[in-house]
Chain A
Amino acid sequence: MSRTRTVALPKDLYQRAFVESFKKLDPRVMMKNPVMFVVEIGFFITLLLTFAPNLFGGASDPFFNGVVSFILFVTILFANFAEALAEGRGKAQAESLKKTKQDTQAKKVGKDGRIQVVSSTELRKGDLVIVEAGELIPSDGEIVEGVASVDESAITGESAPVIKEAGGDFSSVTGGTRVVSDRIRVRVTTDPGESFLDRMISLVEGAKRQKTPNEIALNTLLVSLTLIFLIVCTTLQPIANYVNAAIPVATLIALLVCLIPTTIGGLLSAIGIAGMDRVTQFNVIAMSGKAVEASGDINTIILDKTGTITHGNRMAAEFVTVGNSKSMELNRVAAQSSVHDETPEGRSVVELAKKQGLASAELKLPGSEGVEFRAETRMSGTNLASGVLIRKGAVDAIKKYVVEQGGNIPADLDEKANRIATAGGTPLAVAEGNTILGLIYLKDTVKPGMRERFEELRRMGIRTVMCTGDNPLTAATIAREAGVDDFVAEAKPEDKIALIRKEQAAGKLVAMTGDGTNDAPALAQADVGLAMNTGTVAAKEAANMVDLDSDPTKIIEVVAIGKQLLMTRGALTTFSIANDVAKYFAIIPAMFMLAIPQMSALNIMGLATPQSAILSALIFNAIIIPILIPLAMKGVKYTPMSATKLLSRNLVIYGLGGILVPFVGIKLIDLILVGLNLV
């Protein structure tokens, strides 16, 4: 179902990101990321010291200053590159979307009914346009007249055209999609620049990217850590002077840059963009990063039964004879009742009969005529050429019909019908003439694999609630079969919103999917509302995510992506902060070794010289950023398990790993520097 949309060639992407990372060096841009901005200031100071070593009094080594300056420069570039790369993926997608947004000609219907050809940009809300086969739909709108098949591949990537028709839940069309057949009259619902496509482009482009609440909170922490280390480093100079252990400014800046959380500071926005991007690649458009973040926190998912949990079309599962009828007879009559019934339900009856040994010859009914289902009679059937009337329908309806025809009701009919209903099925009675032969057991089938998915969700601590219009008995059976935690039977649209409010009042975050106009209030109320692209404009407006594939089960993946986003952020923050331990052990002895030779006892990594120790730590600090870019982009691996297990696992990898990795890395870099005779 879900395909990833094609993005620009990776090579092209890297090149563009490379150029972007230089553009981002502009201090006005850097200022938005305070952690990296501090690094940039450090870069400028050390750069000055390279050319004017005595700037701050006292001699300093211009070569060393130059090297520090260069490493800082590279550190900033790496961080910018990460961000640019993440943004680039979105931009590439936006561009492919923009191609579909060409300026199209629209046939506008004037007030006097005359057709006038105008540019699509001149269309305003409320205008009427006519679109014919082969033409692009000029703007988002609603079909007011006609039926057409529309190729929506520009947006969904799905090549099979979809049927759109006036009225009902399939009336909305999207600008930029192409009418393949027929002719429709469309009322424009958006002004230029505000269409769904426009919004999608700006979203994937990240033009209006706002920091999410958790990102802001984390940023606050990172800034305060940066300030703390700024205090540490600026106060260190006078304190060291007191014992005549003056520290060169470049060394002090190196210490500062190593201690402040540059790793997470450099990757934070890339993680956020990549998280949204992963959702997009999944063919889901999130209206904001906040929505993606919120999906990680979801406690309850409300799912519609039909179409989400079950296939939605009830299938014949069994024929149940009543009274004295023979099963072969029932088989035949049931099949004959459905010969003209082209609904999936009807077809499944014929199929079941065939499977149970009915000869195909019995189904050839020349001269017969189908009777369509009508709401008043609640029956359908076949009038045979012989004049015999075969009917199937709701048990009550058939009972009434048979009595009218002067027939009798078999004694075991009600009991057997109840048994089917209790088991969650729908009984349909079958009558030939005025005799009821038996029941068709219609069953709604749960999609394969749903049980496992709900089990997975339970392990993630998420409760699933099934909403259905079925009676409580049927609902309970399906709920049991699918393994959802709870269900609401005989649900009306108001019930859904009441349920969401109830859950939210208990502090839970709720996700739901929907497509109809009557789902719109609930979609808006939910913390994460995933609308189907095939749904109505109202539903899409109300939701904060739109699934282009219109696959309601995707909400589960969206939750996983949200969790992954938060986990990645947490893991890299932990890693970044844990790195400080090793950096301290590299730099502190190096800083004071000249003035206090005994400090070498703290040089537990056995780094060659003070200079190589400082440079190794600084180089490690820089290259860890590009090393972690793939992780930031792809996200930390997420397998559903309890929070405690998840935490222990990530804590070992990113916490303990964060303490140990730099010890190894710094030592390695030191060995290489020595090997290359650089220090």
Chain B
Amino acid sequence: MDFLQIALVLVVLFVLAIPMGKYLARSFSLETTRLDRVFGGVEKAIYKLSGIRVADMTWKQYAMAVLVSNISMVAIAYLLLRLQGMLPGNPSGIAAMEPLLSFNTAVSFLTNTNLQHYSGESGLSYLSQMLVIIYLMFTTPATGIAVVMAFMRGLTGQRSIGNYYVDLVRAHTRVLIPLAIVVTLLLVTQGVPQTMEPTATATTISGTEQQIARGPVASLVSIKHLGTNGGGFFGVNSSHPFENPTPLTNVIEILSMFLIPAALPFAFGFMAKSRKQGWVIFGAMFAMFLAFLVTAYANEVNGNPALERAGLSQVMGSMEGKEVRFGIAQSALFTAVTTAATTGTVNNMHDTLTPLGGLVPLGEMMLNCVFGGDGVGTINILMYAILAVFLAGLMVGRTPEFLGRKIEGKEMKLIAIAILVHPLIILAPTAIALATEMGSSAVSNPGFHGISQVLYEYTSSAANNGSGFEGLGDNTPFWNISTGLVMLFGRYVSIITMLAVAGSLLAKTPVPETMGTLRTDNSVFTVILIATVVIVGALTFLPVLALGPIAEWLTIR
């Protein structure tokens, strides 16, 4: 039964992802398409209103536009958070957010991370929820989609890298807003609230008074998943019955966060005019995802041996921290999906996953390319593909080339920066946090699990996931600043370096394909790609994983 549920969701994903990939490729085409007739009017009005010139950009102009627009976004968000107490749309009378937490929150939502060191129901006004959170929840995945499109244009040798502002607008008009409307309505039918009314007060059967938080939840939850954002309206995120009331909403949420990341490889295939190429990328991601999912499910369903020894039945599996309405299968699937797509929304508490079950979200975020967040995940796997071509390509006796473009010193330098930064911004702060009092005092479970907690926090920040091994007392200056910086580096270093790679590849004369060319659209390459991700991406983290989740698993067996 569990198997059937999971398989069904994945089949629906397939059915949706392929046409979605085609739609994405067409939506962002540099050529005129039929879609222009549908959306062109609105878009032209937006361009006119905001003074956007639609000319092609160089990679440098593109990267600059990304930075300038993102800096403006974070400034707006920061100001709104600081001033929310004085602004309207605050029926529950919530005070201004303090500076460091505001920095962390603004950065967190800007980087599509949605790490929350605050609790939504008590920390944010409705206006902040809408103008900071929901606003950034649209613009940041739109930024990610724009950048991946620019990157894929470079790799597939399109006319140019495109225009950032056009891509940003199209990501809203053609993808996120239409999808968000559909998903919001679906959620509302399942009972997710969408209201401007203040917190309700109810009298319980036992006669005590209960404060029931509510608000414009459905609209936030829809984009939270579609945009692989993950920041919940409520502190407990998608395990809250108002965010995720039924198994059906659980499936809707899973599908909506997986849809765009899973569709992008296919979009890449369409753009490269080689559907097989799309399947190879998707196949590699999907194979890794399945391995993680199986690990998570198997460990959770087997229960927690420590609790079993304490006399607690584990027949149902390890249900600690999980919602009964979802059960093991829907929880394991949700966990595997939310960290694969680096959404960070949770429907169960990852802190209470079994050690190896907890290794799954950690591992997926460390790889950061098992589908990954909107746009950036595909960028990462394509970066690994270039790396795989470079490593294995030499073995066919030619200097490496990917999709007809030579991979040379310049690209390798840029990729080297990207693959270097990821472990650096995870391991260095983890070591500092564990070695110092300011860091380690936040840990609620010392020992191996403490390592997992700290490691999870930084991995989640670096991968721009945003889920937490809650249980970490992380609203302190040390954590707000360090995770804030990690999130910024985690997002922008790879975006900028990969745009540079795209620009550099686009400038090259394409090499024609011959019998002697390494094929990147067959199963052999899928294997090489997975091996590269595992050996370069994962082995890096093995020592620290051995001290965290693996040691914990070994000691409670």
Contacts and interface: CB of A to CB of B under 8 A. Distances in A.
Interface of A: 213-214, 216-218, 220-221, 223-225, 227-229, 231-243, 245, 255, 259, 293, 296-297, 299, 458-463, 505-508, 562-564, 566-567, 569-571, 573-574, 577-578, 580-581, 584, 588, 591-592, 596, 598-599, 601-602, 638, 642-644, 646-648, 650-651, 654-655
A241 B435 contact: yes
A59 B417 CA distance: 37
A299 B512 contact: yes
Main secondary structure of the interface of B (DSSP, over half): helix
Contact of A578 (B404, B448, B517, B535): B535
Nearest to B416: A224
B255 interface: no
Contact of A239 (B451, B510, B511, B531): B451
Given A231-B427, A507-B510, A567 B397 contact: yes
A293 B394 contact: no
19 contacts: A214-B399, A220-B409, A225-B536, A231-B420, A236-B543, A240-B547, A241-B434, A241-B435, A243-B551, A259-B539, A460-B516, A461-B516, A507-B511, A562-B397, A567-B397, A578-B531, A596-B554, A651-B395, A651-B528
B409 A459 contact: no
B450 interface: yes
B518 A221 contact: no
Given A229-B540, A596-B551, 6 more contacts: A214-B408, A221-B390, A227-B420, A235-B427, A242-B450, A643-B519
A458 B395 contact: no
B430 interface: yes
Contacts of A293: 399
B555 interface: yes
Contact of B451 (A232, A243, A573, A651): A243
A570 B512 contact: no
B509 interface: yes
A596 B543 CA distance: 13
Given A255-B543, A570-B395, A643 B434 contact: no
Interface string B487-508: 0000000000000000000001
A220, A462, A506, A580: which has the most chain B beta carbons within 10 Å? A220
Interface in B378-433: 387, 390-399, 404, 407-409, 411-413, 415-417, 419-420, 423-424, 427-428, 430-432
B519 A461 contact: no
Q: Which 8 pairs between the two chains have the least Cβ-Cβ distance?
A: A570-B394, A461-B516, A563-B397, A461-B514, A224-B416, A461-B515, A598-B554, A238-B435
B397 A638 contact: yes
A640 B162 CA distance: 41
Contacts of B25: none
B427 A581 contact: no
Given A238-B431, A588-B546, A646-B395, A458 B416 contact: no
Nearest to B393: A570
B542 interface: yes
A232 B427 contact: yes
Contacts of B539: 259, 580-581, 584
B535 A580 contact: yes
A363 B259 CA distance: 91
Contacts of B408: 213-214, 217
A598 B557 CA distance: 9
Given A574-B391, A577-B391, A228 B419 contact: yes
A459 B396 CA distance: 12
B385 to A, nearest CB: 15
A461 B409 contact: no
A458 B516 CA distance: 9
B396, B419, B447, B515: which has the most chain A beta carbons within 10 Å? B396
Contacts of A462: 514, 516
A424 B427 CA distance: 72
A262 to B, nearest CB: 16
Given A240-B547, A599-B546, A228 B395 contact: no
Contacts of A236: 431, 543-544, 547
Contacts of B387: 221
A574 B392 contact: yes
Contact of B394 (A214, A240, A578, A644): A214
Nearest to A579: B535
A654 B531 CA distance: 13
B434 A239 contact: yes
Interface of B: 387, 390-399, 404, 407-409, 411-413, 415-417, 419-420, 423-424, 427-428, 430-432, 434-435, 440, 447-448, 450-451, 508-512, 514-519, 522, 524, 527-528, 531, 535-536, 539-544, 546-547, 550-551, 554-555, 557
A489 B554 CA distance: 75
Contact of B531 (A297, A592, A655): A655
A574 B555 contact: no
B524 A647 contact: yes
Contact of A508 (B511, B540, B544): B511
Given A228-B423, A507-B509, A573 B394 contact: yes
Contacts of A241: 434-435
B397 A566 contact: yes
A297 B547 contact: no
A101 B451 CA distance: 69
B394 A567 contact: yes
A652 to B, nearest CB: 10
Contacts of A584: 539, 542-543
B396 A646 contact: yes
A508 B512 contact: yes
A643 B409 contact: no
B399 to A, nearest CB: 5
Nearest to A211: B409
Given A505-B509, A578-B535, A228 B420 contact: yes
A562 to B, nearest CB: 8
A299 B511 contact: yes
A242 B440 contact: yes
B437 to A, nearest CB: 12
A588 B395 contact: no
B407 A217 contact: yes
Contacts of A228: 419-420, 423, 540
Nearest to B413: A220
B547 A458 contact: no
A654 B516 CA distance: 19
Contacts of A654: 395
A231 B535 contact: no
A217 B412 contact: yes
B397 A239 contact: no
B397 A581 contact: no
B419, B423, B518, B554: which has the most chain A beta carbons within 10 Å? B554
B463 to A, nearest CB: 16
Contacts of A229: 540
A599 B407 CA distance: 41
Contacts of B544: 232, 235-236, 239
A296 B547 contact: no
Contacts of A223: 416
B244 to A, nearest CB: 35
Contacts of B448: 243
Contacts of B399: 213-214, 293, 296-297, 566
B543 A588 contact: yes
A405 to B, nearest CB: 58
A463 to B, nearest CB: 8
A408 B165 CA distance: 85
A227 B418 CA distance: 12
A585 to B, nearest CB: 9
Contacts of B541: 232
A599 to B, nearest CB: 6
B416 A643 contact: no
A298 B554 CA distance: 54
B311 to A, nearest CB: 23
Nearest to B414: A220
B511 A217 contact: no
Contacts of B517: 461, 643
